[in-house]
Amino acid sequence: MNLHDWIDELCDVLDVEVEVDEALVLDLARISSHQVTKVAAPITTFLLGYAAGASDADEVTVEQLAARATLLAESWERPAGAPDPEEVAVEVEVPDDSMVDHSADTLEDA
């Protein structure tokens, strides 16, 4: 199955009839992912679709909305000195096994 087949099937399942400019949506997702954060991509494209649907936008209006979102993403700057959230490693301290109380790990016969 290719992307076009997926879009056709998804439109059927969602009961919508819409032409999708895949390149436009994928470009917006890529830019928002790189300029803002990876998780911005699906949210940004969802909001583009929501805005387009809410305003019953035609193809030209969708392109204008996408251009506005793209400009925002391209100009997005993290606060000075803030690390890229994708590069921050989360460290979890694991207690030394000798200090863990394992008495509740087994059931005693009554």
- pLDDT of the chain along its 110 residues, tens only? 799 999 999 999 999 998 889 999 999 999 999 999 999 999 999 999 999 999 999 999 999 999 999 999 999 986 666 666 556 555 555 556 555 555 555 555 44
Show me where the domains of the chain are located.
3-77
What pLDDT was estimated at residue 110? 46
What pLDDT was estimated at residue 94? 55
d(CA 33, CA 73): 9
What pLDDT was estimated at residue 80? 63
Residue whose tokens read 């992307």: 3
The sign of the CA dihedral 48, 51, 53, 55 is: negative
CA distances from 72 to 5, 44, 66, 76, 77 (A): 31, 11, 10, 6, 10
What pLDDT was estimated at residue 19? 87
